[in-house]
Chains A and B, each alone.
Chain A
Amino acid sequence: KQEVTQIPAALSVPEGENLVLNCSFTDSAIYNLQWFRQDPGKGLTSLLLIQSSQREQTSGRLNASLDKSSGRSTLYIAASQPGDSATYLCAVPPNTGNQFYFGTGTSLTVIP
């Protein structure tokens, strides 16, 4: 069974800092990995999808990398803003069955 871990569980940074969120998974036989953002009480917003054949994917100030062999992905947020405050989740879809495996998330607070 795939296990997904996210470190750190919580992070508080001053506005403007660059930061890195980490995601690790135990089964490297994946098709892709997806990063989500969740605001309190809301649904998940897809941020980036990295296919297993890719090493990086970028969207604005966000950059996600994927290293399948080591079972790791990182989400890099440049020049953080208070509006980035949210919980960030990484998810790995299954190779069989249809259940996404989610990490427990990193709760990010960006202090103005």
Chain B
Amino acid sequence: KAGVTQTPRYLIKTRGQQVTLSCSPISGHRSVSWYQQTPGQGLQFLFEYFSETQRNKGNFPGRFSGRQFSNSRSEMNVSTLELGDSALYLCASTLTGTGWNTEAFFGQGTRLTVV
């Protein structure tokens, strides 16, 4: 079966711009989580969506937002980009994201560079 697909794989943006990243989960999976990975901070949780609803949110500023569509595909948006937003953004797909159904599958990530 197809894995988790993230697009685009690489992005270069200028400070102040905004960016939208996309994640298509494994077919049948309804939970999508987003993580930011930087060398200094490791993997940090951004937010999680299930059935088009944000269920949980990490400690990131309001410039980071997301949404999920009825087909479970998710997008995250970062507005007013800062140099510190340069990172690898990963999305994870799970069946329901709770209890026993939490085996996670990750996409290849989107490498965002802000210049």
Contact = CB atoms under 8 A, between A and B. Distances in A.
A105 B42 contact: yes
A99 to B, nearest CB: 4
Q: Size range of the interface on B? A: 20 to 34
Contacts of A104: 42
Interface string B39-55: 00011010010100001
Interface stretch (A16-24, A37-45, A67-75, A77-85): A37-45
B103 A46 contact: yes
Nearest to A31: B100
A43 B109 contact: yes
Contacts of A51: 100
Contacts of B50: 98
Interface stretch (B66-74, B78-86, B90-98): B90-98
Nearest to A102: B43
Given A98-B55, A105-B42, 4 more contacts: A31-B100, A32-B103, A93-B102, A98-B97
